[in-house]
Amino acid sequence: MKRLASAWRTVPRPLWLIATLFAWLLATAWLRPLMAPDEGRYGGVALAMLHSGDWLVPRLDGLPFFHKPPLFYWIGAAAMAVTGPVEWAARLPSVLGGGAAATSLFFFLRRWTTVPQALLSTVVLVTTPFFFLGAQFANLDMLVAGCISATVLLAAGAAMAKERGEPWQALLAGAYLFAAAGLLAKGLIGLVLPAMVIAIWCAATRRLATLRLALWLPGWAIVLAVAGPWFIAMQMKYPEFFDYFVITQHFRRFASSGFNNEHGFWFYLPVLAGFTLPWFAWVFVPRGKDGTARPRLSDVDWLMWIWLAVIVVFFSLPRSKLVGYVLPALPPLAYLIAQRVLAGRVLETLLPKVRAMALGAAAVCIACVVAISILSSPPGTRLRLPAGQVVALGDQVLMLDSYYYDIPFYWNLRGPVLVSDDWKAAALDTRDNWRKEISDAGRFEPERAARTLIDHTQLAATLCVPRTTWLVASNTAQLTHPWLFRAQLVAVNDGAAVWRFEGSATSDPHCLDAAPAPTSGTNGDE
């Protein structure tokens, strides 16, 4: 019994704990291909940053992509500079975000609660399928969730340390540093959401005097020094940057409809309940009976409840909702679940059950990754060029009527591809789709966009040249573009295909006019 009790109270060595957390989150990050569009988009932008050598301007197909700031791309590009374009390097920013959230949660709770609460809360967090899969997905949600979590916990720790006459400046400086990282990860929410949580917590726990720490000048100097230069550089280079990045991508997007994934206000309640199983089931288990009265809410309890509520309510207000938006709510939810598990129960008898449940939850996490790997089939991973065929230095790559986000990553392309569509209509489109993303990006550099975005009327001038073009389109594109029968089919899968078109040695402007009868080509289905 003594040995079991000591297992709850033994504090892991910090470096071992951090290494274990990151190893667990990274363990299966290589297992499955990137999923389109999100993972292909963000991994491709990071790879383009590496290939171009321009570490300031994120670029989608060579055009400035200002939907989000550059921190994710900086981390991904730096990782791929060492490893090349591999999946786990593209997902490393998300792994780091998950590791930051879990590590900061453990150290905060170890200091301000108990070792059992800190250990169990961290175990619950990292073995929750929602959190684990978020750390395995190459988009910005987990990275900013990690920044928000660290900011909240460091700021709350600084406030409580200051009250007790303990050193607090380093903690508060860390909070401002992670707030700056949050700004560079996903914009204003990296600063606004932690500020809302801490302000409401201070009011609820009667710490109004502590709010003066929000005006701590060294902290704001850190924010300006870390995040300021990039925003200033972009505004100086592109005068339209502020209106597009701040007004459109933050305020108009938050308040408007017309974006994808519109859901009701209630959406995140079943998401949190379902995607955090099996741990969430403890919410319905009655408290244990060890003879102690139910304690009043502590300062940490108030922090966690307020944190959870602020995140869920904030992201429930806009009509457009994506599952990953609510990832910053998982650390406080893990704490509250762990508290429920421990409530009124004897540690010695509880430990075997918790171990078994943690192993079961970890198995569910791995099973989810394996299932997604088997069921997902993004075009770029299947449309690998057959052996002996490569995109040569002078060749063109043209995507027809669509943009396949993951192909530049898996083909390791070092320059932008040409994209053919009705770009005049796309410029007027208000829907949130790939056309609008690329069309918006083209506004910042119209001359470059004119060379990259090809209208349907320009196809002959683009293809009828003495140059090889690799065409990527739907595998039924020949029905609307019969001239594709002139090209050699080299790869095909369920949704997309690749053709090799040799162009015209004489630059005949009519080389697409008459299509010959279909002939059998080399089918590189892989």
pLDDT > 90 fraction of the chain, expressed in percent and rounded? 62
Q: What is the pLDDT of residue 375?
A: 78
The burial of 352, by beta-carbon neighbours within 10 Å (0-12 exposed, 13-18 middle, 19 or more buried), is given as: exposed
| Encoded tokens for 190 | 């990296």
Q: What is the pLDDT of residue 95?
A: 97
C-alpha distances in Å from residue 365, one per residue of 4, 173, 325, 495: 26, 35, 20, 29
pLDDT at 457 over 90: no
pLDDT tens-place string over residues 2-52: 444 455 555 567 788 888 999 999 999 998 889 878 899 999 999 999 999
pLDDT tens-place string over residues 45-85: 999 999 999 999 999 999 999 999 999 999 999 999 999 99
pLDDT at 496 over 70: yes
C-alpha distances in Å from residue 233, one per residue of 69, 76, 230, 241: 12, 21, 5, 10
Per-position b or e across 487-500, b if 16+ CB within 10 A of its CB: bbbbbbbebbbbbb
For 449, phi then psi, to 5°, come to -65, -35
pLDDT > 70 fraction of the chain, expressed in percent and rounded? 90
pLDDT tens-place string over residues 152-169: 999 999 999 999 999 999
pLDDT tens-place string over residues 377-421: 554 456 777 777 888 888 999 999 999 998 999 888 999 999 999
Q: How confident is the model at residue 1 (pLDDT cuts 50, 70, 90)?
A: very low
For 164, phi then psi, to 5°, come to -95, 5
Q: What is the pLDDT of residue 168?
A: 95
Closest CA relative to residue 101, chosen from 6, 38, 215, 194: 194
Instruction: Compute the C-alpha angle 448/453/455, nearest 5°.
Output: 135
pTM: 0.91
